[in-house]
Amino acid sequence: MALGRLNHVGVATPSIAASIEMWRDLLGAEAIGEPFDLPAQGVKVCFIDAPNTQIELIEPYDEASPIAGFLKKNPAGGQHHVCFEVPDIHAAVAAMKAKGATVLGEPRIGAHGTPIVFVHPRDTGGMLVELMESHA
Ligand SMILES: CC[C@H](C(=O)O)C(=O)SCCNC(=O)CCNC(=O)[C@H](O)C(C)(C)COP(=O)(O)OP(=O)(O)OC[C@H]1O[C@@H](n2cnc3c(N)ncnc32)[C@H](O)[C@@H]1OP(=O)(O)O
Ligand SMILES: [Co+2]
């Protein structure tokens, strides 16, 4: 399985609203999407377009959010994961497992409306990696 396009960098934040201000006023972001809730994945999401990828701002939807633990350790938020595109999520899961990596859960629909999975950071040098099926 070849390394695919970097679809987005996930950035955890305690406040999407505050993060939008920083990305816009300090870093010059111009294409900022409308925040939306993704309760099935326990997050609120806002995509910020960069020329060749996106920033995915993620805020806990509730206390059970999978990023709640991360924000306890990093109260100001920070870089949470990176997401690479794959042509076939099931083939990607099989390839990861065949190489001994831990895939977290089953493929589920992510913020772009396509199937995603996560590979445990212990298998990826400490960086949480998301794989997202994309046919773009
Ligand atoms: C899905 C919608 C959207 C999209 O793009 O479509 C998203 O991307 S939403 C993103 C939020 N969802 C997830 O992250 C789901 C997958 N994540 C998980 O299942 C957990 O966060 C997990 C298992 C990676 C970590 O679990 P937890 O937060 O409970 O922390 P632990 O103490 O169990 O962590 C174990 C170990 O991993 C290290 N860790 C935790 N989070 C990260 C991280 N983001 N990046 C790197 N490392 C991470 C943590 O420090 C622990 O390390 P250790 O050395 O054992 O102390
Ligand atoms: Co993501």
CATH superfamily of 6-133: 2,3-Dihydroxybiphenyl 1,2-Dioxygenase, domain 1 (3.10.180.10)
What residues have their beta carbon closer than 5 A to ion ligand 2? 10, 56, 83, 130
pLDDT (tens digit per residue) in 6-54? 999 999 999 999 999 999 999 999 999 999 999 999 999 999 999 999 9
Is the pTM higher than 0.95? The answer reads: yes
121 CA distance to ligand 1 centroid (A)? 7
Q: Give ligand 1 pocket residues (Cβ under 6 A).
A: 10, 38, 41, 43, 56, 58, 66-67, 69-70, 80-81, 83, 104, 110-111, 116, 118, 121, 126-128, 130
Where do the domains of the chain lie? 6-133
78-81 contacts at long range (C-beta below 8 A, 24 or more positions apart): 78/11, 78/12, 79/9, 79/10, 79/11, 80/10, 80/11, 80/12, 80/128, 81/9, 81/10, 81/118, 81/127, 81/128, 81/129, 81/130
Is-catalytic flag, 130?
A: yes
- Which residue among 56, 70, 122 has the greatest number of ligand 1 atoms within 8 angstroms of its CB, and so is best to mutate? 70
pLDDT (tens digit per residue) in 66-118? 999 999 999 999 999 999 999 999 999 999 999 999 999 999 999 999 999 99
Q: What is the pLDDT of residue 51?
A: 96
